[in-house]
Structure formats: structure tokens, C-alpha cells
Structure 1
Amino acid sequence: MIRLTPSEQVAWDAYFVSVTTQLLQQDAKRGPEYIAERAAEIADEMLLERRERCVERRSASVDWIGPAKGQ
């Protein structure tokens, strides 16, 4: 199980609600257990991607910003 920070919990909840809504619209014939499990899997994947991007941004160089004006 992933330990979430408070801000990650808010993001995960939002992903879960969004994905659940989409799954219900796409395949309402599926059972509630399937919908909940699949939505949780997708939300987990999205959160992990978000974490990876955040780590990449933190470790990235800021050289791409370019020289400061007036130099």
C-alpha cells in the first residue's frame, strides 16, 4: 500500500472520482467491485506518474531557463 501525503491524498481522491465516473459512463454493466478496483488501479498509476514527474523536476537542471536579462 502506498503512503500518501495529505496533498497526494487529495489528488488521488480526485483521480479516483474522475476515473470512476468515466468507467461508469463507458461500461455501466460492470459490477461495483470491478469499477472500484479498476478506478483505484488507474488512480494509483496516475499518482505514481505524478510522483515520478515531480522527482524529475526537482532533480532537473535549471539551465533551460536561459540567461538573465541585463547580463
Structure 2
Amino acid sequence: MIRLSPSEQLVWDAFFVSVTAQVIQQTRDRGPEYIAERAAEIADEMLLERRERCAERRHAPVDWVGPA
């Protein structure tokens, strides 16, 4: 399990709510356990990718200019 900072927890919660709404629309025939597990997996992946991008930006050279 990933330990989250308070700000990351807020982001994860927002990802989870958003993804859950999308999963519900796409898989109406699945049970609530499947929907919650799938949404949590996707939210985890999104948070990990966000962490990786933040780490890359922190370690990038000062003259590097790219998308935020």
C-alpha cells in the first residue's frame, strides 16, 4: 500500500470519485466490489504517474522547458 501525504490523499480521492463515475457508466452490469476495486486500481496508477512526473520535473535541468 502506498503512503500518501495529506495533499496526495485529496488528489487520490478526487481521482477515485472521477474514475468511479466513469467505471459505473461503462460497466453497469458489474457489482459494487468490482467497480470499487477497478476504480482504486486506476486511481493508484494515475497517482503514481503524477508522482513520477513531479519527480522528473524536480530533477530536470533548470533550462528545461516543458508542459506543466
Question: Where does the alignment leave 5 or more consecutive residues of structure 1 unmatched?
Answer: 66-71
Find the aligned partners of 1:27 and 1:56 in 2 and give their Cα distance.
35
RMSD, aligned CA: 0.9
- Taking only the aligned residue pairs, the percentage that are identical comes to 78
**Aligned pairs for 1:1-71 within 5 A:** 1-64=1-64
Residue deviations 1:3-47 (CA, integer Å, cap 9, x gap): 000010000000000000001011111000000000000000000
Q: Name the TM-score, length of structure 2 as normaliser.
A: 0.91
Kindly tell me the number of residue pairs found equivalent between the two proteins.
Answer: 65
Which one has the largest radius of gyration?
1
Runs of 4+ in 1 over 6 A off after TM superposition: none
